[in-house]
Amino acid sequence: AAGTARLYTEDDPLVLLGSGSLKRSVSSNSSSAWLVQFYSSWCGHCIQFSSTWKALAHDVQDWDTIIHIAVVDCAQDDNFDICKEYGVSFYPTFRYFGAHASPADLGKTYRGADRGVQTLRELMINFLQNHTRLGKPDHCPPLEPFNLRDLLPLLGQKSAHYTAIIIEHPTSYVGREVILDLSKYTGIVVRRALSTDTPLVDKLKITAFPSAYLLHPNGTHTHLHLYMQLRFFFTSFLRGLQGVQRRQTKDHSAPNHMGALSEHHSTDPWREFDSSKVYMADLESALHYLLRVELATHNTLGGEELKTFKSVVTVIAKLYPGRASVQKVMENLLDWLVRLPLESIPYQAILDLVDDKMRISSLSLGAEVRWVGCQGSRPGLRGYPCSLWTLFHMLTVQYDASPKLLAGTGTEGDPAAVLNAMRGYIGTFFGCEQCGRHFEEMAAQSLDQVKTTEDAVIWLWSKHNQVNSRLAGSLSDDPVFPKSPWPSPALCPACHQEKEGVHTWNEEQVLAFLRQHYGAGNLSPRYLP
């Protein structure tokens, strides 16, 4: 009905269906299965349950070529007819549709809105395993256990891909979850085997369950010893193997523009790097790009733009943890902006200062991009936007370590000083407009909840992960550096935990990790000119 709040939006990783699209989607020879929730936006239980349904959709978003999660709002006038046709009279009602369902198929009903994510996920797997042959989604990998007879021919054989085997108790779902988590990935095949399969378990010498066993393309095989034997650890490890790549499916990015932002010279040599380090070369390239390329599209800066620019220069000049010479250039720029309180400033004057045309300090900013930790596997990927995130994460951590550094700037005491500067910059100058709009939405929603400098560090981390999750698999996702929840278990095992079968973060550990990772002590000068 008009006026009711929408419980789900396009930003949730699920499909919004209605009278015009339900039948067309679920029963017009769909290659995937569907789990649809018919709800009513005025039903209190549905409102409460929406957070579980969204958490489920996030949890299984990489299964969507096999099974889609969808919703139909039966309180919307346009949907009255379709809800009636499907015989929905209680909310929420859940219906499962196998692949290739016929238009007469009204789905299998399941009631159980009081269940958590784990139960619902297991229910999805049961549905996937128990459908008829026709109802099997086209891309559904085998979920049945593997045995010694299947395994023996593979041992010691070279192959074009990895094969991972999760060996688990018969009641465990981890193996099937990992199989589905990797269903969009190439370069790897995942199977499961059972702890009760004595010949196989003896052959591989497995004694604890679940365990993961990996057959490498070169014919060798190993038992994987991960920090925790949890779904998230298995999935994340396997996705990170060299040569394992996500198939690109989504396209809700701004690929052309992002391409332009990540200007990269394809003749550049590849620079080996360590993803547990932060490279000064990336930060300096970010500053060069920001000041000489992005800003150059503005002939003069005045009013709000100038204020925003000043606030960005302030946080960089005061908090930049890299080379002193670079910080000095930024300080000179800030001094100049403060000393000459002009209404508007021609861009050329800023450029002259950065290039040290006035010979104030005989210091200037390196005039080239040299991506290291932000290198993309091909031109147009990563680069500048990557370095901009890196820069602002560093600044939030630096400010948290030494809040006094902003003394006398007019922003001291504001825990969100760095975030406000970033918000202004992204909204005003960042060339990817769509990115700016998304970021502004997130900031408007929750930036006021930042009460301490620690909150600020965590806020940016958490919003960045939200962006990563939205962009995973999109055109701006570099297949060699796929977007995933960060830090990975390989970078910070203690940051991860599981509650009731759902991955959660240990935020205390995340904060400790961010302080170390983005701390001045973790900056590498390697590859600086």
Residues that bind ligand FAD (CB under 6 A): 253-254, 258, 374, 382, 385-386, 388-390, 393, 426, 432, 434-435, 438-439, 461, 464-465, 467-468, 471, 476, 478, 481, 483, 486
Rounded distance, CA 348 to CA 354, Å? Answer: 10
Minimum CB separation from ligand FAD for residue 222, in Å?
27
Rounded distance, CA 423 to CA 308, Å? Answer: 9
Q: What angle do CA 383, 384, 386 make, to 5 degrees?
A: 70
Sign, CA torsion 30/32/35/40: negative
Rounded distance, CA 191 to CA 200, Å? Answer: 13
- The two tokens of residue 138 are 């086209």
**E-only strand ranges, 257-329:** 278-279, 300-302
Minimum CB separation from ligand FAD for residue 483, in Å?
6
The SS3 assignment for 127 reads: helix
Sign, CA torsion 227/229/235/239: positive
Rounded distance, CA 317 to CA 391, Å? Answer: 12
Of residues 187, 232, 183, the one with CA closest to residue 66: 183
Minimum CB distance to ligand FAD smaller for 316 or for 386: 386
Q: What is the DSSP letter of 504?
A: E
The question of whether 74 is a catalytic residue gets the answer: no
- The two tokens of residue 53 are 């349904």
Minimum CB distance to ligand FAD smaller for 365 or for 374: 374
Q: What is the DSSP letter of 293?
A: I
- For the chain, the C-alpha Rg in angstroms (whole number) is 26
Minimum CB separation from ligand FAD for residue 486, in Å?
3
Rounded distance, CA 94 to CA 102, Å? Answer: 18
Minimum CB distance to ligand FAD smaller for 127 or for 392: 392
Rounded distance, CA 172 to CA 196, Å? Answer: 12
Run of H or E including 505:
strand 502-505
- The two tokens of residue 89 are 């009279």
Minimum CB distance to ligand FAD smaller for 233 or for 371: 371
The question of whether 435 is a catalytic residue gets the answer: no
Rounded distance, CA 489 to CA 233, Å? Answer: 6
Minimum CB separation from ligand FAD for residue 349, in Å?
27
Minimum CB distance to ligand FAD smaller for 46 or for 418: 418
Minimum CB separation from ligand FAD for residue 312, in Å?
13
DSSP 50-63: HHHHHHHHHHTGGG
Rounded distance, CA 159 to CA 330, Å? Answer: 53
Of residues 108, 109, 129, 125, the one with CA closest to residue 117: 125
Minimum CB distance to ligand FAD smaller for 141 or for 493: 493
Minimum CB distance to ligand FAD smaller for 38 or for 439: 439
Q: Backbone phi, then psi, for 497, in 5-degree steps?
A: -150, 175
Minimum CB distance to ligand FAD smaller for 187 or for 431: 431
Of residues 65, 95, 35, the one with CA closest to residue 180: 65
Minimum CB separation from ligand FAD for residue 20, in Å?
28
Report the first-to-last Cα separation within the chain, whole angstroms. Answer: 63
Minimum CB distance to ligand FAD smaller for 110 or for 481: 481
Specify which residues 499 forms β-bridges with: 502
Minimum CB separation from ligand FAD for residue 145, in Å?
36
Minimum CB separation from ligand FAD for residue 255, in Å?
7
Catalytic residue annotation: 43, 46
